[in-house]
Amino acid sequence: MRSDTDLDIGEVIARSGVPASTLRYYEQRNLIASTGRRGQRRQYAPDVLVQLALIAMARGAGFTLDDIAAMFTDDGRPHIDRTLLADKADALDRTLAELTTVRDTLRHAAACPAPTHMQCPTFRAMLTAASGIALT
């Protein structure tokens, strides 16, 4: 049901940075809903901006669109499983630790004074830590 406070699709695009094609796709996936049309232009309740912000954050954290859909009630209000968030945060911690090891290995390799990287004991130890493969 459209109201005078609804946002035109152009305003949603301008305020969220989400392209019209993505908004339509999110509607097809039941992540958001338009309130109707004014002429040919979709209209959205102002809360759609909150929904889009949550979708963007969740996508950035690596959640699938199916995971994200489960984070909203049928009427579009957020209902987020805290255990799911904690599990995702734990997974991100593991990924960050792995990426930190890889980054540190690359930085060392770039500045290593050894004649070759394989002659550097620090690089070899870092390579083993990053890959899990013992080089001895």
Q: For 46-85, how does the pLDDT look when each residue is reduced to its tens digit (9 = 90+)?
A: 999 999 999 999 999 999 999 999 998 888 888 889 999 9
What are the φ and ψ backbone dihedral angles of 42, each rounded to 5 degrees? -65, 150
pTM above 0.95, yes or no: no
Distances 60 to 55, 68, 89 between C-alpha atoms, Å = 8, 11, 12
1: pLDDT strictly greater than 90: no
2: pLDDT strictly greater than 70: no
Amino acid (1-letter code) at residue 62: G
